[in-house]
């Protein structure tokens, strides 16, 4: 019998375009729901779990004695209990390379949209057919402004290149990148407090870990300029959402552009939805024709590698190889 691949996130149709190739070597089953108890039951005889947003906690992993790998359709593996997978000898694989420039494009689009008040102008135009210069539509030049990056990995570096192209001054906070490397990239290192206090635009590009969860709370947001904008295309839980809403309502921040949220999807009535100073997109920073093709192909290759017993290119828990 072919090994079973359990696919979560039914609404995404993960690697649908390559299903014929996967069907040739595996039996693909889409989970009835992403509830942990359902996944635990349906993963009992699975060889691979193929997931995107669904939580894969320890009980799901422990319920699948024949599980060989968990393949993430995307970059961040914060939805997977990697420690539990490692204990069980299960390989955790992600797709980190498919959309660095793609996501940086989106983050910079949010930045430009905020700087030029595009959502407020567009909304007024649609309502009135024309608007004249008014304070609520007054934008900002980017040249000479300071772009502060929290995280200087693949996407952060791509964002730095874009900022430099618009003649912005770039500073970054990343405890895992040394000052010499930053300066070699044309980026000035800064501690978090200095970055928040000095930047005109703060853009988040770090991964979600226990250390970065809630990294920007009320105290950190209060250090930012009242004229500053906050952008997050990484993970929503890095920012204290209630503190962000309070800061925007009080005028302690000029605006925000978010593609990610602590709880997704958003529900009608969410306080950010009614704010003209905010641009919101539904976790689609990665979604272009080219990036979609890359992530689909990388995901398929990773599943095939796991099923064949080969070392996947982007193995997150390499220690399983010594077991």
Q: Active-site residues: which are they?
A: 235, 264, 283
- Asked if residue 143 lies in contact with residue 165, where contact means CB atoms within 8 angstroms, the answer is no
Which tokens hold the place of 77? 């593996």
Mean pLDDT of the 136-159 span: 97
Question: What confidence tier does 322 reach under pLDDT thresholds 50, 70, 90?
Answer: confident
More confident residue, 258 or 321: 258
Measured in whole angstroms, the distance separating CA 310 from the mean position of its chain's CA atoms is: 28
Average model confidence (pLDDT) across the chain:
97
**pTM listed for this prediction:** 0.92
List domains and CATH numbers for the chain.
4-98+289-322 (3.40.50.720), 100-280 (3.40.50.720)
Name 151's Cβ contacts closer than 8 Å, sequence gap at least 6.
172, 173, 174, 204, 205, 206, 207, 234
Question: What confidence tier does 286 reach under pLDDT thresholds 50, 70, 90?
Answer: very high
Cα separation, 207 vs 75, in Å, equals: 9
Percent of the chain with pLDDT over 70: 100
- Asked if residue 86 lies in contact with residue 319, where contact means CB atoms within 8 angstroms, the answer is yes
Give the model confidence (pLDDT) of 162-172 as tens digits: 999 999 999 99
pLDDT above 80 for 317: yes
Give the model confidence (pLDDT) of 204-220 as tens digits: 999 999 999 999 999 99
Which tokens hold the place of 205? 């590009």
Measured in whole angstroms, the distance separating CA 30 from the mean position of its chain's CA atoms is: 24
- Asked if residue 117 lies in contact with residue 136, where contact means CB atoms within 8 angstroms, the answer is yes
What would the DSSP string read from start to end of 125-140?
HHHHS-----GGG---
pLDDT above 90 for 323: no
Give the model confidence (pLDDT) of 38-50 as tens digits: 999 999 999 999 9
pLDDT above 90 for 17: yes
Question: b/e for 136-153, b at 16 or more Cβ within 10 A?
Answer: eeeeeebeebbbbbbbbb
Which residues on adjacent β-strands are paired with residue 216?
239
Count the Cβ atoms, other than its own, within 10 Å of residue 250.
10
pLDDT at 291: 96
Which tokens hold the place of 320? 């399983």
- In 223-316, at which residue ranges do the beta strands (DSSP E only) sit? 229-232, 255-258, 278-280
Which tokens hold the place of 276? 């003209």
Give the model confidence (pLDDT) of 55-112 as tens digits: 999 999 999 999 999 999 999 999 999 999 999 999 999 999 899 999 999 999 999 9
More confident residue, 10 or 323: 10
Cα separation, 193 vs 177, in Å, equals: 17
CA atoms within 13 A on the CB side of 38: 13
pLDDT above 80 for 124: yes
Measured in whole angstroms, the distance separating CA 262 from the mean position of its chain's CA atoms is: 11
Which tokens hold the place of 209? 């870990």
**Which of 233, 226, 204 lies closest to 216, judged by CA?**
204
pLDDT above 90 for 13: no
pLDDT above 90 for 300: yes
């Amino acid at each position: 019998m072919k090994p079973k691949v359990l696919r979560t996130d039914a609404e995404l149709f993960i690697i649908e375009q390559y299903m014929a190739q996967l069907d040739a070597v595996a039996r693909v089953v889409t989970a009835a729901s992403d509830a942990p108890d359902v996944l635990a039951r349906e993963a009992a005889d699975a060889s691979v779990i193929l997931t995107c947003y669904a939580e894969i906690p320890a009980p799901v992993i422990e319920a699948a004695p024949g599980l060989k790998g968990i393949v993430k359709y995307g970059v961040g593996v914060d939805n997977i209990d990697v420690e539990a997978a490692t204990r069980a000898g299960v390989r955790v694989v992600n797709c980190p390379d498919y959309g660095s420039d793609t996501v940086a494009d989106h983050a910079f689009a949010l930045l430009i949209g905020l700087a030029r008040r595009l959502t407020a102008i567009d909304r007024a135009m649609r309502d009135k057919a024309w608007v004249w210069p008014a304070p609520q539509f007054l934008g900002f030049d980017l040249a000479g402004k300071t772009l502060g990056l929290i995280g200087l990995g693949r996407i952060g570096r791509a964002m730095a290149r874009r900022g430099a192209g618009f003649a912005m001054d770039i500073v970054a906070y990343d405890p895992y990148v040394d000052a010499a490397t930053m300066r070699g990239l044309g980026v000035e290192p800064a501690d978090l407090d200095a970055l928040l206090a000095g930047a005109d635009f703060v853009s988040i590009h770090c991964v979600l870990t226990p250390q970065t969860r809630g990294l920007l709370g009320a105290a950190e947001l209060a250090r930012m300029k009242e004229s500053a904008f906050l952008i997050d295309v990484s993970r929503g839980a890095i920012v204290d959402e209630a503190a962000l809403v309070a800061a925007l309502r009080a005028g302690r921040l000029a605006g925000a552009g978010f593609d990610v949220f602590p709880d997704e999807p958003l529900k009608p009535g969410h306080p950010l939805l009614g704010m003209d100073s905010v641009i919101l997109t539904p976790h689609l920073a990665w979604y272009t024709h080219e990036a979609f093709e890359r992530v689909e192909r990388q995901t398929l290759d990773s599943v095939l590698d796991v099923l064949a017993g080969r070392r996947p290119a982007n193995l997150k828990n390499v220690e399983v190889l010594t077991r």
